[in-house]
Amino acid sequence: MVNLRQAVFSVIASLLLPPASHVQEVDTPSKSVAVVGAGSAGLAILKSLLDLPEDARKGWDIVLYEQRRDVGGIWLPDPNPARPPELPETPLYPLLHTNTPIPTMTYPGFPFPPNTPLYPSHEHVEQYHQDYANHYNLMPHIMLNHTVLSSSWTGNSTNGVWNVVLRDHNHNKIIRTHDHIVVANGHNHYPHTPQFAGQDAWLRNSPVDGPKREMLHSIWYREPEKFTNRSVVVVGSGASGRDAASQVCIKARRTYHSIRDTSNPPVVTDSLVVKPEISHFTSTAIVFVDGSAVSDVDVIIFGTGYDLRIPFLEEGNELAVKPNAHSNKTYRKGLVTNLRYLFPLHQHVFSLSPYYPTNALSFIGLPILVANCPSDAAQSIYVAHAIANASLLPDREDLLRELADIEEDLYSRGYDPYYIGHRMVEGSTFDYQDNLITYLQKHGALPDDGKKFVEGWRKESLEYLKRGWKRVEDLDIQHEWLDGVVTEEDWANLMRRLNYWQGTWEKEHGIVYPPEPDFI
């Protein structure tokens, strides 16, 4: 069977690839690990693999493929953003700032540089990733401008290799083989745009004396100035929807924010009109679920998230796309995405497809509503040790039963795992990270120092912090607060002091704010 599949792959590859003079055949050692993506997840797993004891990874070939010009993932700006329908390299927009304080966003043991704003612009976060890669000497293992086109498994449930087709920086195609693939390429690439009855008729019926009507996903949103004197509906209350609404309303003639829960709007300003969800369109108006309608709109921005797609696995027939899949019992023949949830996976990490070993294909960075770097770090340590020692993982059938139990527990608490996807609900992100590391400690892969992986200060509730930093900026006293802040403990103390300072001020002035949106 192995020889047959290898023969089939060779025939397919010969049809896909250009003449031999343009193809580079690369020999690989017997133990080879490929990471795909150099954002926060990819850098975390690359470091964790290199942190393994030298005797555990002796003779390994460890390589990371990144299709863009540098590390940083979505934080790396796109110098020439594509126009619809071509997808841009990143959804990053120039005015983007973090919506969580940077100490909580860091890789453990690697704080942001001194004097970094508590909620900085995206340039600081991109530089942080570059600093991390350079500090731990990761760059020699990273192949920039290398795009993974397809990946398929040749072998069986216990042995085999991944056949990977790449396009390099010279646009040549390369075939490489790897024993393990770690997918770390993020999930903000393929926009999810809802469809509504009547929208095509609305788009066709632009007013003769007005601008042409248009719809676009927030992946193409960049500057609010584009919407000057336009009338705009922003759909969605996630981070991109909130930012687009708060920025566009300053420039637009009128801005509506269409959200599910109108009782607690995430953006409150006199220049923004909050509306419920869209019901449908007519040729002249947008109709909302409460029966109200607006007819003066010429632009709709959808901040409606992304579909969970991994094209190079789809191309290699290793991932099936089944948008209506809602049961692990129905699809037991391989890996499936319903565009919200990738399954079956052990701990949101290891593929439980029956066609290859349980540690052959893994994913870093799927969890949502988390601080990415610490979550990525915990997952990466888990994956690195399981790649080094496959016996750390129970049998596939045991892991499938464990997954079924986890999904049943979510159902019992009112969550459909096939809808919420990889969201960490009810603050479970910290327990999730701790449990991954505790498992390794219990099985002797890591020393048990009696400490939790997630530091206590990351778990503290600081409800006044963001408003406190806004007041610090308004008073232009940032340096007074940031002076002398260097270590992780310094940053933790800064957040505590600032939270207390702001909380005391609000109570003294009788100010009550609605709860902040839950970003992690």
> How confident is the model over 2-28, as pLDDT tens digits?
344 444 444 444 444 444 344 455 554
Contact of 381 with 440, CB cutoff 8 Å: yes
Question: What does the pLDDT read at residue 29?
Answer: 66
> Distance between CA atoms of 427 and 370, rounded to whole angstroms?
9
Tens digit of pLDDT for each residue in 54-103?
999 999 999 999 999 999 999 999 999 999 999 999 999 999 999 999 99
Contact of 317 with 352, CB cutoff 8 Å: no
**Of 45 and 17, which is predicted with more confidence?**
45
Residue 361 has pLDDT above 80, yes or no: yes
**Of 87 and 333, which is predicted with more confidence?**
87
Q: What is the mean pLDDT of the chain?
A: 93
- In this prediction, residues 364-377 reach a mean pLDDT of 97
Question: What does the pLDDT read at residue 340?
Answer: 97
Backbone angles phi, psi at 416, to 5 degrees: -95, 110
SS3 337: strand
Instruction: HSE, CB side, 13 Å, CA atoms: give it for residue 78.
Output: 18
> Distance between CA atoms of 490 and 363, rounded to whole angstroms?
33
> Distance between CA atoms of 75 and 441, rounded to whole angstroms?
33
SS3 6: helix
Tens digit of pLDDT for each residue in 424-463?
999 899 999 999 999 999 999 999 999 999 999 999 999 9
What is the DSSP pairing of strand 299-302 with strand 231-235? parallel
Annotation: CATH topology of 193-304: FAD/NAD(P)-binding domain (3.50.50)
Tens digit of pLDDT for each residue in 188-199?
999 999 999 999
What is the DSSP pairing of strand 272-275 with strand 190-191? unpaired
> Distance between CA atoms of 444 and 385, rounded to whole angstroms?
11
DSSP assignments along 236-249, one per residue: --SHHHHHHHHHHH
Q: Which of 505, 436, 407 is nearest to 465 (CA)?
A: 505
Residue 519 has pLDDT above 80, yes or no: no
Task: Confirm whether 2-190+308-442 and 193-304 share one CATH topology.
Answer: yes
Residue 172 has pLDDT above 70, yes or no: yes
CA distances from 317 to 159, 164, 290, 329, 358 (A): 18, 12, 44, 20, 18
Instruction: HSE, CB side, 13 Å, CA atoms: give it for residue 158.
Output: 2
| Residue-range domain boundaries for the chain | 2-190+308-442, 193-304, 460-508
In percent, the amount of the chain with pLDDT more than 90 equals: 88
pTM here? 0.92
Q: What is 2-190+308-442's CATH superfamily?
A: FAD/NAD(P)-binding domain (3.50.50.60)
